[in-house]
Amino acid sequence: MERRWSLGQPVPAAAVALAMTFLAVVVTVFIRSGKSKFRMPPGPMGFPILGCLPLLGARPHESLAKLAKKYGSLMSITLGSVKVVVATSPEVTAEFLKTNDKIWSSRYTTTAGKILSYDGSDIVFSEMGPKWRYARKIFMMELFTPKRLADFQPSRKQEILRGVNDAITRSDGGAETVQLDVILAKVATNIVIRMLMNERSLSEKAAQIKNSDMFRETIKSTFKLLEGFYLGDYVPWLDRIDPQGMKKQMHAVAKNVDALAQTILDDHKMKFEINRKDLQGNSNKARSGEVEDIVDALLTRPRDADGQYLSEKEMKAIITNIIFAGTDTNSGTVEAALRELLRNPHVMEKALAEMDSVVGRERLVEESDLPNLPYVNAIVRETFRLHPAGAILVPHLSTDDCEIQGYKIPAKTTLFVNTWAIQRDPNVYERPLDFYPERFLGNKKDVHGQDFDLLPFGSGRRICPGKGLALLVVPYTLAIFIQTCNLRLPGDMKPAEDYSAEVSSAEGHHLEALVTPRLSKDLFLNTAI
């Protein structure tokens, strides 16, 4: 008798597996036949509904690097319902961000990016268009000009030296361990806040925010959410459930971010004694005796010839961009460099020898000395290479169909550039896992987005607009700490036993050291007050 399955009987596992396999093949053939004009790069098939999300794990840049070894330096994956191509070589990256930069200059905005950027009103996460071009023009030609950066040089020096004094005082003659990462984060935060609002004119409320632990915790929380993989971005129906609890965190952090930005704006408006209606006709004018800060420039900027202007929401978005771009990334890079100097004493010795030869011990190093310190600059570039602030660049989105490496990629495809993998590729760098600053001596390796094997700030139209500040703050902070401080590991810890090779793996592990003055404190104590 022929045996029939009923709804009340168990279905054999083999039959289920066969049916699922057949269904997957049919669906795949159907999808591919419906998009026959496109020839996507190779990549893993992934799982139903989730696509390749389960393959990413806790460290997506590492997982994608392993997949690229199998599928190639141009790979396609699906993350839920989102089509993604992944670039893992300088040549492929150049095709996206140089040859076809215009097509790939928009953004795939994640939920975190949207919530924390005032619905894409900022420079980092906004879509390509007239508003973005206008905001970036203001940013580059008025807010972060060489002149404005030069005007704030004294405040940068003062804040760095305050950090040095704090570290030396806390260490108490080398008797106490100091958490240098905490001090460096405070230094970077204060540098940016002083550019946003002149310290002499801070209101009591603004000063409280500037000095609060909540402010620095908000910055850390923001970066953690922006770097995380929120499942609702890729599987839309999960957005309603928020299984990771991330969306709730995003809204809570966004509330703190908005309170900070609103306080900064209100603080300036109160001093100007003007209301928002009066702002658009005023000319830029610094207050007497003070350097014009960034928020001054934002508030007093008139409409342009095309009638474009910045709304209050857009101004707050730009303020938060500046805070986040200029704090955690800069302090994290200096922290990574100091970790490596503690792990590699021979590198520290060479840096100290260069510092004593070029600057000496009778005066403090100045920003103007940086071009004459090639080894210190090589340390910075090697830190950019081995410890990128973003292991994967902020995702790009194509606005049109595009051909890359012979593959036809459709519009609305997301691009991941795995800089972590590129900058650790043995085919690109000799001894890629070693901290070896000498590799950058005597070469003109560009960090402005033209050399695609070193992209600390990205490339093309969406290159980080804050790179000018970073290229002053990072090497100068490092140079001052090298010149003024003797740094030692605590206890019996040996250099090789210090933290592992990746900055991101150091999360939750403070950079601890014993700090004593290397120069006479008279040289820098008064300057820091």
**pLDDT band (50, 70, 90) for residue 359:** very high
pLDDT at 478 over 70: yes
Average pLDDT over residues 223-248: 89
d(CA 169, CA 517): 10
Here the tokens at position 281 are: 């006709």
Which range marks the domain in which residue 160 is found? 130-528
**DSSP 3-state of 242:** coil
> Can you give the pLDDT at residue 493?
65
- How large is the average pLDDT for residues 60-77? 97
Tokens of 141: 């030609």
Query: pTM of this prediction?
Result: 0.86
Within a domain: 119: no
Q: What pLDDT, on a 0 to 100 scale, did the predictor assign at position 301?
A: 74
Cα–Cα distance for residue pair 150/94, rounded to 1 Å: 32
* pLDDT class of 452 with cuts at 50, 70, 90: very high
Contacts of 282-285 spanning 24+ positions with Cβ under 8 A: 284/142
Whether 47 is covered by a domain: the verdict is no
* 3-class secondary-structure state, position 151: helix
Mean of all residue pLDDT scores within the chain: 84
In a domain, 37, yes or no: no
Question: Which of 188, 234, 216, 219 minimizes the C-alpha distance to 334?
Answer: 188
Residue 125 half-sphere exposure, CB side, CA atoms within 13 Å? 22
Rounded CA gap, 229 and 213, in Å?
Answer: 26
Residue 290's pLDDT is 62
Annotated binding-site members for heme: 464
Using the Cα atoms of residue 523, residue 527, residue 528 and residue 529 in order, give the sign of their dihedral: positive
H or E element that contains 84: strand 82-87
As a whole number of angstroms, the distance between CA 171 and CA 165 comes to 10
Query: In this structure, is residue 96 part of a structural domain?
Result: no
* pLDDT band with cut points at 50, 70 and 90 for residue 526: low
Q: Residue 478 falls within a domain, yes or no?
A: yes
Q: Is the pLDDT of residue 404 over 80?
A: yes
In a domain, 160, yes or no: yes
Say whether 143 sits in a helix, a strand or coil: helix
Numbers of helices and strands, H then E, in the chain: 22, 10
Q: Is residue 380 part of a domain?
A: yes
Distances (CA, A) of 81 to 229, 237, 319, 368: 14, 11, 33, 51
Residue at 51 is within a domain: no
Given a cut of 70, whether residue 127 has pLDDT beyond it is: yes
Statement: residue 302 has pLDDT above 70 = no
Please answer whether residues 79 and 230 qualify as being in contact, where contact means their C-beta atoms are separated by less than 8 angstroms.
Answer: no
DSSP-derived secondary structure for 384-440: HHHS-S-SSPPPEE-SS-EEETTEEE-TT-EEEE-HHHHTT-TTTSSSTTS--GGGG
Residue stretches of the annotated binding site: 464
Q: Report, as an integer, the average pLDDT of 108-135.
A: 88
Helix extents (H) in 176-241: 180-196, 204-210, 213-227, 236-241
What pLDDT is attached to residue 204? 65
Number of domains in the chain: 1
The string of pLDDT tens digits covering residues 206-232 is: 666 666 667 777 888 888 888 888 999
List the CATH number of the domain containing 329.
1.10.630.10
With a cut of 90, say whether residue 54 has pLDDT above it. yes
Does residue 334 carry a pLDDT above 80?
Answer: yes
